[in-house]
């Protein structure tokens, strides 16, 4: 399992009801069901990934998250996960709202386009960045809404979300060192947040 998914898994309570939006091949959900006793449900739009989820025995719906989560009731899940998918959504603000409606908390992880390596690459080479965390060329990238850690936190505040917990990611997707905490928008390659709807 990818390092960033291991970090996300560590944020999910044992025995939780979990919905994973853009669950890919179901590796995270399989781990959560097997190792943490979670009841899991995946949502994925890629037919090939849906087949892989079914092969793993993961319950999955073929659904485009941008179309909304109307199939799921209010607080139907303890945790709704959106891992490395936020930047590929057409309607990220609306999906965040749906996450905290359908789940008691949401876990959101994404690459940080404010990371120093991205800034230097654009400044020095004058070309769109490509790295371990952003491996696609500009013309084939699924990333359409690029954001930084500061951008995400500003959006969360504007949408009335509480940021309960933040874990910073290094370039390999694992936990970033203590230095990144000093200037996360510059020094962290990505982040994972636990969020919930704020009071009122």
pLDDT at 160: 94
Render pLDDT for 44-100 as a digit per residue (tens, 0 to 9). 999 999 999 999 999 999 988 888 888 899 999 999 999 998 888 889 999 999 999
Contact 106, 96 (CB under 8 A): yes
Chain position carrying tokens 């179309």:
67
Contact 105, 156 (CB under 8 A): no
Mean pLDDT of 105-110: 96
Render pLDDT for 147-169 as a digit per residue (tens, 0 to 9). 999 999 999 999 999 999 999 99
Percent of the chain with pLDDT over 70: 91
Task: Count the alpha carbons within 13 Å of 198 in the hemisphere toward its beta carbon.
Answer: 9
Strands 103-111 and 17-21: unpaired
The secondary structure of residue 75, as a DSSP letter, is T
What's the predicted TM-score (pTM) here? 0.90
Adjacency order of strands within the sheet including 39-44: 60-62, 39-44, 17-21, 77-83, 103-111, 190-197, 161-169
Phi-psi bin for 146: left (phi > 0), alpha (psi -120 to 50), beta?
beta
Q: Bridge partners of 109?
A: 83, 192
Whether the predicted pLDDT of 1 surpasses 90: no
Residue 148's CATH number: 3.40.50.150
Mean pLDDT, all residues of the chain: 89
Whether the predicted pLDDT of 131 surpasses 70: no
Highest mean pLDDT among 18-22, 87-91, 124-128: 18-22
Helix, coil or strand: residue 196: strand
- What range defines the domain where residue 192 resides? 3-197
42 vs 179, more confident: 42
Chain position carrying tokens 């994973």:
20
Lowest mean pLDDT of 39-43, 74-78, 88-92, 107-111, name the range.
88-92
User: What percent helix, strand, coil does the chain show, rounded to 5?
Assistant: 35, 25, 40
CA dist 36 and 5 (Å) reads 14
């Amino acid at each position: 399992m990818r390092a960033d998914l291991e970090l996300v898994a560590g944020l999910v309570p044992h025995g939780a009801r979990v919905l994973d939006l853009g669950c890919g091949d179901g590796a995270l959900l399989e781990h959560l069901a097997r190792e943490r006793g979670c009841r899991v449900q995946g949502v994925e739009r890629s037919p090939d990934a849906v087949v892989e989820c079914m092969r793993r025995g993961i319950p999955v719906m073929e659904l485009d998250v941008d179309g909304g989560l109307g199939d799921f009731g209010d607080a139907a899940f303890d945790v709704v996960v959106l891992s490395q998918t936020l930047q590929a959504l057409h309607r990220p603000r609306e999906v965040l709202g749906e996450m905290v409606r359908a789940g008691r908390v949401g876990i959101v992880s994404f690459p940080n386009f404010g990371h120093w390596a991205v800034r230097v690459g654009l400044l020095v080479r004058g070309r769109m960045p490509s790295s371990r965390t952003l491996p696609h060329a500009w013309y084939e990238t699924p990333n359409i809404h690029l954001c930084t850690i500061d951008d995400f936190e500003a959006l969360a505040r504007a949408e009335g979300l509480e940021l309960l917990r933040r874990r910073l990611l290094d370039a390999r997707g694992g936990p970033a060192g203590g230095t990144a905490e000093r200037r996360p928008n510059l020094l962290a390659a990505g982040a994972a947040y636990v969020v919930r709807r704020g009071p009122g």
